[in-house]
Amino acid sequence: MNAPGASREEIAREVARLGPWFHNIDLLGVPTAPSHFLGDYPSLKWRNFERALPADLTGKSVLDIGCNGGFYSIEMKKRRAKRVVGIDHDDQYLDQARFAARVLDFDIEFRKLSVYKLADLRERFDLVLFMGVFYHLRHPLLALDLIYEHVAGDLLVFQSLQRGSAEVDRVEQDYPFTERDVFDQPGFPRMHFIEDRYSNDPTNWWFPNLACSEALLRSAGFRILDHPEDEVFICKRGQRPDWCGADKIVDVQLDRSGDHR
Ligand SMILES: C[S@@+](CC[C@H](N)C(=O)[O-])C[C@H]1O[C@@H](n2cnc3c(N)ncnc32)[C@H](O)[C@@H]1O
């Protein structure tokens, strides 16, 4: 369908053909996912943290990892980012994102690419969005390491579904072999492994608690600048702690069979 100049009826027909949508985007009066189980999503989420990001992205480049229907890529373009690249491994979502951007007349590059193949981009971005993807990965820490290693230029927006305690204990640099109690403390970094399904979704693999999200980001080399919302962290690429230097990263490129059951 030729989107520019399309009528409301034509847009609605194409939205229905490309569905179901996860992102609810207003396409010139046509909502793409009006019955989303989380309400007007992700607008509701975005409103909670949008103030924590630069209002003007003029001249900046943005990478949106796991872009889905393109909601955040479009928001970055609305803030006048010079270049926005959205990647996802799902063709249906990419088709939705391309259509949404065409209707709203935003120049965004959408590419089919797994987070495990970020090295193929051969480019660093001023702002990287890594939202709602971490817990869908079987190898989430590898993905964070690859982001640090290959695409993060300055800022990272990280969001993960979190479960468990919201307490955060101070993490010691070392523990004696005899230490056991600390592992039962609610504020100790902890990842919950989902062997089968959560919310009827077999692609949910790992849910960190709050302390774990923070620890993972630090360990991957990101300094947390802001935590504007329960699950969202605004980070800056910093120094990776020397005990997890790049030479310790397993240099593997996983194919899609590793992501989904
Ligand atoms: C829950 S949605 C989050 C979408 C969006 N980033 C947001 O925060 O609203 C997860 C997205 O990540 C994509 N995804 C999952 N695993 C991926 C992978 N290995 N590489 C690239 N994208 C992936 C899915 O296709 C889906 O579009």
Report the residue among 68, 207, 253 best suited for mutation to probe ligand 1: largest number of ligand atoms under 8 A from its CB: 68
Instruction: Give the per-residue pLDDT at 252.
Output: 42
Asked if 192 contacts 120 with a C-beta cutoff of 8 angstroms, the reply is no
- What pLDDT is stored for residue 248 in this prediction? 53
Which atom of ligand 1 approaches the CA of 69 most closely? 27
pLDDT (0 to 100) of residue 2: 65
The minimum-distance atom of ligand 1 relative to the CA of 137 is 16
As given in the structure block, the two tokens for residue 138 are 């079987």
Residues 132, 138, 141, 142: is their CA dihedral positive or negative?
A: negative
Residue 228, CA distances (Å) to 49, 76, 232, 238 in order: 5, 18, 6, 20
Please indicate whether residue 89, judged by its CB atom, sits closer than 6 Å to ligand 1: yes
Task: Check residue 23 and give its pLDDT.
Answer: 98
Residue 115 beta carbon below 6 angstroms from any ligand 1 atom: yes
Residues belonging to the chain: 261
For residue 39, the CA-to-ligand 1 centroid distance in Å is: 19
Q: How far apart are CA 206 and CA 137, in angstroms?
A: 7
45 lines ligand 1 (CB under 6 A): no
Determine the residue of 88, 91, 114, 230 to mutate for testing ligand 1's pocket, defined as the one with the most ligand atoms within 8 A of the Cβ atom: 88
Residue 94's identity, in one-letter code, is L
Pairing label, strands 125-131, 83-88: unpaired
Q: Which domains does the chain have, with CATH numbers?
A: 55-250 (3.40.50.150)
The one-letter code for the residue type at 222 is: F
Q: What is the rounded CA–CA span in Å between residue 213 and residue 204?
A: 16
C-alpha span between 162 and 173 (Å, rounded): 24
- Ligand 1 pocket mutation, candidates 89, 108, 128, 198, criterion most atoms within 8 A of CB: 89
Q: How far apart are CA 217 and CA 144, in angstroms?
A: 8
Which pLDDT tens digits describe the chain residue by residue (261 residues)? Answer: 667 788 999 999 999 999 999 999 999 999 999 999 999 999 999 999 999 999 999 999 999 999 999 999 999 999 999 999 999 999 999 999 999 999 999 999 999 999 999 999 999 999 999 999 999 999 999 999 999 999 999 999 999 999 999 999 999 999 999 999 999 999 999 999 999 999 999 999 999 999 999 999 999 999 999 999 999 999 999 998 876 644 455 444 444 334 433
How far apart are alpha carbons 130 and 107 in whole angstroms?
A: 20
Q: What is the pLDDT of residue 38?
A: 92
